Amino acid sequence: GGFEHNLQSLRVVDVLEERYAAFDGLNLCFETREGILKHCSRAHAAQLGEVGARFLNDRRPSLEAQIANLADEIAYNNHDVDDGLRSGLLTLEQLAEVGLFASHLAHVRNAYPDLAERRVVHETVRRMINTLITDLIGQSESNIRLARPESVAGVRAAPPLVAFSPEMHAANNELKAFLRSHLYRHYLVMRMSAKARRIIQDLFTAFIQDPRLLPPTSRVQADTELARSVADYIAGMTDRYAIREHRRIFAIEEI
C-alpha cells in the first residue's frame, strides 16, 4: 500500500513506457534503474529483486547514482531559494540568517553595490551552487583516495564516497532546515498542498467508483488492476492537467 514517488519513477521506465515492439519499458541498464530508486521502504525493496537489494543489505549505489543524488539536491534546494524569493514567500532578510546564503550575499553586495536586487539574487544563488559543487568534488575525491575501492563491490561496501565536507554538510543542512520551516511550511504553500491532496483524493475516488471515467488507454489495465491503473494515471498528470481533469469530472460547466 501507499505511494512512493521513486518506485513510481522506476515503474515508468520498467513498465509504463511503450516504445518497443518486443517488451514494455525502456530496457535501461541495472545501474540506471538503481540510481532512479533513490529511496525505498524495506517492504517494497523486498519485492524488487536485485535492484532493491541494497536497501536490505545496507549497501551503497554506484558512484554515478551517488553523484546524481546530491546533484539533484543541490539543484532543487537552490531552485527553491530562487522560487521562494521570486514568489515573495521568502525575503533576502530572512535568507540572510542562513550562513551559506549570507556569506555569498555579502560578497555580491560588496563587489556590486549598485546591482539590481534580482541580479543580486541570481549571482548569490550561482555562487552558492558553485561552492556546493566545488566542495562536493573535493571531498568526494578525498573519500575515494582514502577508501581506494578496487571494484563496484568495493564502492557498494564502503561508506558513501560522494559527499560534502563536514562543514559544507552542516551548511547545506542549515539551508534545508530553513527551506522546510520558512518555505515548504509557509501557510500559502500549505493551503496549496491541501488543495492538491483534495484534488488527488477526489480523482482517485471518482475513478475507483466508476472506472468508465478513465480514458480508454487506462481502462485496459483497470480491468484487472483498478487501483494500480488509477494510481498510474494520476501519477502521470502535471499540476495543470490534474486541475483540468478535476474540473471536467466535478464542475457542471466542464466536459
| pTM of structure | 0.88
- Residues 190-212 have pLDDT tens digits of 999 999 999 999 999 999 999 99
Do 69 and 177 share a domain, yes or no?
Answer: yes
Q: How confident is the model at residue 155 (pLDDT cuts 50, 70, 90)?
A: very high
Note the pLDDT of residue 21.
97
User: Region 8-34: what's the mean pLDDT?
Assistant: 94
Mean local confidence (pLDDT), 126-136: 98
Same domain assignment for residues 190 and 208: yes
Is the per-residue pLDDT at 136 higher than 90? Answer: yes
Is 247 a residue whose pLDDT tops 80? yes
- Domain encompassing residue 73: 63-184
**What are the beta bridge partners of residue 25?**
18
* Identity of the amino acid at 13: V
- Evaluate if residue 234 carries a pLDDT over 70: yes
| pLDDT (0 to 100) of residue 203 | 98
Residues 90 and 180 in one domain: yes
Residue 146 has pLDDT above 80, yes or no: yes
Q: Which three cell numbers stand for residue 192?
A: 496549496
Q: What is the pLDDT of residue 225?
A: 87
Region 76-102: what's the mean pLDDT? 97
Q: 90: domain CATH number?
A: 1.10.3410
Residues 136 and 90 in one domain: yes
